[in-house]
Amino acid sequence: MSTRSLAVHYGKKAKKLEYRHKKIVDDFHRSRWREGDWTDDSDQMILIMRSLVDCGGKVDPVDFAKKFKTWIKSGFSEVGDLSGLGIGLTTMNVTSRPDFLIDPHEVARYVWDEQDRNIASNGAVMRTSIVGIHMFWSLDDVTKNARDFAKTTHHDPRCQASTVAVSVAIATMLQGKHMDKHGKFIVKDIIQDAYEYASTCLETDTEKKDLMFYLTCDDIEDLKLDEAKKIGYIYKSMGTGFWALKQDDFRKTITKIVMQ
C-alpha cells in the first residue's frame, strides 16, 4: 500500500493504531490472512528454528529446504493453515526448481545468474533474526550461519550482507557489548560491528558504501519505502530495521514505519 493510500485509509487514525484495528482494508493482499495473524516472515523464522533444533544446532541447508517445501504446501497445520502465504517471486522461483531439495545453494545461485545477477529481494533478511540469537557468543559463527540460511533462497551478496548485518547486531546486543554507563546501547558502535561483518559479503567500495548508507540512514523518508517496483528491495527492509534501532519510542516508531 502506498503512502498516499495509507493516508486515505488510516491517516486520521495513525496516532492510535491498534493491534485489532477498527477497520482493516479488505483488499486482495490483506484478506489472505486472518486479522491479527502473523505473515510468512515469522513462519520462515520458525522453520529456521525447527531446522536448528532437529539438526542439533547445525545449519543444514537441505533440511531447511525440505521444511520450506512442506510449509509452502501446507503451512502450519497446528494453527489452521492450509498453505504457506506471502511467498515472494524469488523464493517461489528457487523453491520450485527440481533440484532445490538436493542443493538449494546451487539452485539459488543459478536463479540469480539467470536473472542477470540483479535480484535482491527481502525474503532472506525478514526471517533472519533468530540466527542472531543462536550462537550469539560467536560473531563469526553468526555470520556464517546467516549467510548459509540466506543462500538457501537468495544468493545475491546484498541479501547475504543484510542477513549478516541484522544477525550480528542482535548477537552483539545479546553479548552486552557497546553499552554506556547508564546501561543503554551505543547504537553507532553496534552498526559499525554489523557493517564490518556484513561488508565481507561484498566486493567493491561502491557496494560497501551503499550498505553503509542504508545502515546509517537517519531519515526514514530517504529510504523511499513505497518506491514503485522497489518496495521489496533488501536494503530498504534492512535499513528500516536499523533506522528503528536508533529511535526511542517503540509505538511511534512502528507507526511511522507502517505509515510509509
Task: Give the CA distances from residue 17 to residues 83, 113, 160, 172, 200, in Å, rounded to whole numbers and listed in that order.
Answer: 29, 42, 33, 31, 40
Residue 56 pLDDT greater than 80, yes or no: yes
For residues 176-183, give the mean pLDDT: 92
Average pLDDT of the chain is 90
41 is in an annotated binding site: yes
For residues 92-118, give the mean pLDDT: 96
pLDDT band with cut points at 50, 70 and 90 for residue 221: very high
CA R_g for the chain: 18
In 10 A of CB 144, how many CB atoms? 15
Q: Answer whether residue 61 is part of any domain.
A: yes
Q: Answer whether residue 8 is part of any domain.
A: no
Q: Answer whether residue 222 is part of any domain.
A: yes
Per-residue pLDDT at 82: 74
Per-residue pLDDT at 259: 79
Per-residue pLDDT at 76: 87
Please indicate whether residue 89 or residue 171 has the higher confidence score (pLDDT).
Answer: 171
Per-residue pLDDT at 78: 86
Least trusted range by pLDDT, from 8-12, 110-114, 155-159: 8-12
For residues 98-117, give the mean pLDDT: 96
Per-residue pLDDT at 187: 97
Q: Answer whether residue 5 is part of any domain.
A: no
230-256 pLDDT, tens digit per residue, is: 889 999 999 999 999 999 999 889 888
Q: State percent of the chain over pLDDT 90.
A: 70
pLDDT band with cut points at 50, 70 and 90 for residue 30: low
Q: Answer whether residue 159 is part of any domain.
A: yes
Cell numbers given for 24 = 482493516
Residue 212 pLDDT greater than 80, yes or no: yes
Per-residue pLDDT at 260: 79
For residues 193-219, give the mean pLDDT: 98
pLDDT band with cut points at 50, 70 and 90 for residue 24: low
Q: Answer whether residue 21 is part of any domain.
A: no
Q: Answer whether residue 1 is part of any domain.
A: no
Q: Answer whether residue 7 is part of any domain.
A: no
Structural domain tally of the chain? 1
| Domain of residue 94, residue span | 27-258
Per-residue pLDDT at 8: 65
CATH number of the domain encompassing residue 173: 1.10.4080.10
Residue by residue, DSSP assigns the chain as --HHHHHHHHGGGGGG--SS-S-----TTGGGS-TT---HHHHHHHHHHHHHHHTTT---HHHHHHHHHHHHHH--GGGT-SS-----HHHHHHHTSGGGGT-HHHHHHHHHHHTTT---BTTTGGG-HHHHHTTTT-HHHHHHHHHHHHTTT--SHHHHHHHHHHHHHHHHHHHT-SB-TTS-B-HHHHHHHHHHHHGGG--SHHHHHHHHHHHH---GGGG-TT-TT-TTBHHHHHHHHHHHHT-S-HHHHHHHHHT-
pLDDT band with cut points at 50, 70 and 90 for residue 32: low
Residue 83 pLDDT greater than 90, yes or no: no
